[in-house]
Amino acid sequence: MSSRADIEVAFKGQLGGFPLDARFAAPGHGITALFGPSGCGKTSVLRCIAGLQRLNGTCRVGGEIWQDENTFLPPHKRRVGYVFQEASLFPHMSVRSNLLYSSHGKVLPPAEGRVGFDEVIDLLGLEHLMARAPQHLSGGERQRVAIGRALLSQPRLLLMDEPLSALDRQTRDEILPFLERLHEALAIPVLYVTHDLFEVERLADELVLMRAGGVIASGPLGAIQSDTSLPLALQREAAVSLDAVVKGFDEQYGLLKLDVLGAVFLVPGRQRLEAGTRLRLRVGAGDVSIALEKPAATSILNVLPARIRSARTVDEREMILVLGLGEDGAGDGLLARITRRSWDVLGLSEGTAIHAQVKSASLASR
C-alpha cells in the first residue's frame, strides 16, 4: 500500500552557481507538483531523481533505494519515466518504434500492474499516428507520444519537466485533458515540474514549493494554497483548488450541482455530466466576499456558510482570510481577500461564523 512517504528525496550540493538543498517526500499516487520560479533548481531535482545528474543525497522510490551514501543506480537501472520539456522523440524511428523502444520493439502482453499498450494508445489518442515519423507530428502530438513512450517503460515514478511550457496556449489546452485522464486512469505517481500556477491548480494533488535551491513547503495542494505563512496565499491571484463531485444538473438553468467538503456549489456547466464525475473547482481569493448575515436578495449563486479559520494582514489596505466551509467550518478551505476596513467594520475575528459569497468559480474536468 502507498503511504505518504512512498517517494523520499533529499539532495544537497553545488549546482552551477547556486547551492541546492532540497528535501521532500511525496505520496505514491497522484500528481505532485514541484513549483517555483525559473532557475530555482526544480529541473535539477528531477534530473537527480532520474540519475542524469549526480549530487550527494538520497532517493527512495516505493521501497527501492535509487541513491544513498553507498548506492547510485545508473539512470537505465531506475524504473523512471521522464518527459522532457521538448518531446525529444528519436527522429530516426516511427511513432510506434519510439513508443516501443523500452520494450525492444515488442508489445508486452497485458499483465497485472503493467501499463498496457492499447490503454496508452487509447488514453493519449495515438492510434492514427503510429506509422508517422516524428518530423511529421504537431508539437502537441509529439509531446503526447513522449508521454506515452515514458509510460510504456513501466515506470514506478513518472517525472515530467515542464511538459507543456514549450507549447503554445492552444496546444497546451489540448494536452491538459490527456494529463487529467492519465491521472484518473493510471496508478503511477507523477512528479510534475512547472513554474505555471495554472497547471498546478488544475493538475496537482500535492505541492512542493521551491525557491533558490531549497524547498520552502510541501504537502497537499489545498493546505499549501491556504497557508497564509507561505507566499502563494498572499499573491494577488491566490486561489484554492477544490476536488468536487457532480451531484446533479439543473437542466432549466444549465447549472451543475457540485459537492465539496462542507458545501454544495452551483456552477454554470456547458454539458450535462453524470453524477459522480469528479471535477476540479478553482476559487480565487478575490472572488470571495464575506457577509455576516445571509443576504436576502443577491445575484450571487453561491452563498455558503463558513467560519473564519485564520486571517493575515497583507498590507495596510488588505487582509487574506482562510475560511472553513460548513456551519462548523470543518469542510474544505477557501481564501478570501477583503479590505482591512471591512474586517474592522464587520467586527470579524478568527472563529466567526460568516457567509462566504463566491462570485465565480471556474471548472476544470478531472
Partner 1 sequence: MSIVQALSPEIWTAVRLTIELAALTTAILLVVGTPVAWWLARSRAWWKEAVAAIVALPLVLPPTVLGFYLLVTLGPSGPGGALAGLWGARTLAFTFEGLVIGSVVYSLPFVVQPIRNAFEAMGDRPLEVAATLRASPARAFWTVAVPLARPGFLTGAVLGFAHTVGEFGVVLMIGGNVPGETKVLSVAIYDFVETLRWREANILAGGMVVFAFAVILAMTLIEKRMRRAGE
Please give the residue ranges that form the binding site for partner 1 (CB under 8 A). Answer: 50-52, 74-82, 84, 86, 88, 90-92, 101-102, 135, 149-150, 153
Q: How many CA atoms lie within 13 A of 330 on its CB side?
A: 1
Q: How far is the CB of 152 from partner 1 (least distance, A)?
A: 9
Q: How far is the CB of 79 from partner 1 (least distance, A)?
A: 8
* CB closer to partner 1, 78 vs 172: 78
Cell of 256: 451543475
The residue behind cell 467550518 is: 329
* CB closer to partner 1, 95 vs 319: 95
Q: How far is the CB of 80 from partner 1 (least distance, A)?
A: 6
Neighbours of 235 (CB within 10 A): 14
144 burial via Cβ count (<10 Å: 0-12, 13-18, 19+): buried
Please say whether the beta carbons of 218 and 56 come within 8 A: no
Q: How far is the CB of 43 from partner 1 (least distance, A)?
A: 12
CA distance 210 to 195: 10
234 burial via Cβ count (<10 Å: 0-12, 13-18, 19+): middle
Q: How far is the CB of 113 from partner 1 (least distance, A)?
A: 17
Q: How many CA atoms lie within 13 A of 363 on its CB side?
A: 22
Strand (E) or helix (H) holding 241: strand 239-250
Q: How far is the CB of 136 from partner 1 (least distance, A)?
A: 10
Contacts of 18 (CB under 8 A, 6+ apart): 41, 212, 213
* CB closer to partner 1, 136 vs 294: 136
Q: How far is the CB of 57 from partner 1 (least distance, A)?
A: 19
* CB closer to partner 1, 144 vs 355: 144
* CB closer to partner 1, 89 vs 238: 89
* CB closer to partner 1, 82 vs 192: 82
* CB closer to partner 1, 101 vs 249: 101
Q: Which of 228, 262, 259 is nearest to 336 (CA)?
A: 228
* CB closer to partner 1, 63 vs 74: 74
**Phi, psi values for residue 313, rounded to 5°:** -75, 130
Q: How far is the CB of 154 from partner 1 (least distance, A)?
A: 9
Neighbours of 155 (CB within 10 A): 20
> What Rg, from alpha-carbon coordinates, does the chain have?
22
Cell of 231: 507566499
CA distance 363 to 307: 24
Q: How far is the CB of 157 from partner 1 (least distance, A)?
A: 11
* CB closer to partner 1, 11 vs 265: 11
Helices (H), 63-116: 95-99
